[in-house]
Amino acid sequence: MKVITGIRKMQEFSRQVRGAGLSVGFVPTMGYLHDGHVALIRRAREQSDVVVVSIFVNPTQFDRKDDFERYPRDEQGDRALLEHEGVEVLFMPKADEVYAPGAATCVRVEGLTSGLCGARRPGHFEGVATIVAALLNMVGPDRVWFGEKDFQQLQVIRRMVADLHIPVEIIGVETVRERDGVAMSSRNARLTPEQREVAPVLRQALGAMADAYLGGETDASKLASRGRAMLASQAGVRIDYLEIVDGITLQPASCADDRSVIAVAAWLGDVRLIDNIVLARVRDAHASGGPTAAARSNRCDGGANPHA
Q: Which residues bind ligand PAJ (CB under 6 A)?
A: 28-30, 36-37, 39-40, 58, 61, 128, 131-132, 146-147, 149-150, 153, 173, 175-176, 183-186
Which stretches does DSSP call E strand in the chain? 2-4, 24-29, 50-55, 89-91, 143-147, 169-173, 237-246, 260-268, 271-278
Sheet containing 260-268: which strands, arranged edge to edge?
Answer: 237-246, 260-268, 271-278
- Catalytic entry in 37, 84, 124, 307: 37
In whole angstroms, the minimum distance from the beta carbon of 27 to ligand PAJ comes to 7
- Of the pair 183, 265, the CB lying nearest ligand PAJ is at 183
d(CA 227, CA 206): 7
- Of the pair 13, 145, the CB lying nearest ligand PAJ is at 145
Q: DSSP character for 183?
A: B
In whole angstroms, the minimum distance from the beta carbon of 222 to ligand PAJ comes to 29
Instruction: Determine whether 37 is an active site residue.
Output: yes
d(CA 87, CA 42): 9
Tell me the torsion sign for CA atoms 136, 190, 95, 126.
positive
In whole angstroms, the minimum distance from the beta carbon of 109 to ligand PAJ comes to 13
Length, in residues, of the chain: 308
Question: ∠ CA(187), CA(274), CA(198), 5° rounding?
Answer: 75
Strand 169-173 and strand 143-147: the pairing is: parallel
In whole angstroms, the minimum distance from the beta carbon of 302 to ligand PAJ comes to 37
- Of the pair 87, 173, the CB lying nearest ligand PAJ is at 173
d(CA 290, CA 308): 10
In whole angstroms, the minimum distance from the beta carbon of 40 to ligand PAJ comes to 5
- Of the pair 187, 226, the CB lying nearest ligand PAJ is at 187
Taking CB positions, which residue lies at the least distance from ligand PAJ? Answer: 147
- Of the pair 257, 275, the CB lying nearest ligand PAJ is at 275
Bridge partners of 237, per DSSP, are 268
Active site residues: 37
